[in-house]
Amino acid sequence: MYRTLLFIALILAAPGAVLAQAGAPGPASQARPTASAAPAAPAQPDSLQQFLESRVVEELAADGVSLARLGYLVRISVTGSSAEISLLDTTSSRVVRATRVEGLAADREAALATVTQVAANLVAQVISAPAPVTLAPGASSPPVPDNAHLMQADVQARFAREEVGVGLELLRTRRRWWAWQGEMHTPLATLEFLRLMGRQDLAHRIERRERTRDYLFWSYAAVAGTSLAALISAFASDDGELQTQLYWGAGIGGAVALTTLFATAALAPRIEVSEVEAKRLAQKYNDDLRRKYGLPVAARQRARAPSFRLTGASPYVGENQAGFALTGRF
């Protein structure tokens, strides 16, 4: 009886032991660490261009300059150690001011300070600039220059250095025009002026005339000198036959000299460029220069007060008159 009860108890306990062994974790599962989530990749720092564009606006706002309120947007393009800063109109997306900064510092904070100062200067220039002139319907606006990053003051300075003008020079007997270039009124020779105006053909003609005149002049001088020497020898000689020959030689030489003189006047006439033509060429050159730099062609520099420059003074005495002659330039 006792053995029968023990056998029944073993049979009933066997399934529970099997289930308990299956549910318990094994050694491998106990030793295995719990898998943790992979660490997040570190955030990539913003590029220098993004850093400057975001921080410059904040720095300007801290200084009391609100670009959003003024209607402007700063665009910064960084290439190597240089940066181009542009100020755009948010309404038309048009570049209002632009400049370039070279040698930008590698340190972000130093670069931020430099670019912020440049951007503040651009905003100040736009605020202080006069209001744009509204063109009438159908009027054509001047072309925008390719070098739009140049400041307006730089363009005006370049035009002032390259502008050409024509003035008058008063002499005792006549007046003639003279050309100058730049704010310092640097004088231009006639050939230099014509080449600058693009009239190489006229400059070549004047050069050829000068060479022909010089050649004929020296030929005239040689013949006249030979004739004079023959005449002096004739006066000094006691031989009548030799004197006759020398007189004939001097006469022929004098005739040749006079012929050469008239040939100089006929073959090498003076080429004159009138004052009206010179002013027309200078005006056309200045208009082309304005188009090159994007300046309005209709605009002219403010009128300068007439000036007179005294270049010389000398007394003179005539048959029935005497006086003091002044030479100057307007």
Q: What is the pLDDT of residues 307-326, one digit of tens each?
A: 556 666 666 555 566 666 66
Q: How many helices (H) and strands (E) does the chain have?
A: 10, 8
* Contacts with 154 (C-beta within 8 Å, 6 or more apart), sequence order: none
Q: What is the pLDDT of residues 92-123, one digit of tens each?
A: 888 888 888 888 887 888 888 888 888 888 88
pTM of structure:
0.37
Which residues does the chain have with pLDDT short of 70? 1-46, 128-153, 167-175, 264-269, 298-330
At 274, list the tokens: 């009138």
> 213 and 264 in contact (C-beta within 8 Å)?
yes
pLDDT of amino acid 81? 82
Q: Give the residue extent of every domain in the chain.
A: 48-127, 189-267
Query: In this structure, which long-range contacts are made by residues 210-218, counting pairs with CB atoms below 8 Å and at least 24 apart in sequence?
Result: 212/267, 212/268, 213/264, 213/268, 216/260, 216/263, 216/264, 216/267, 216/268, 217/264
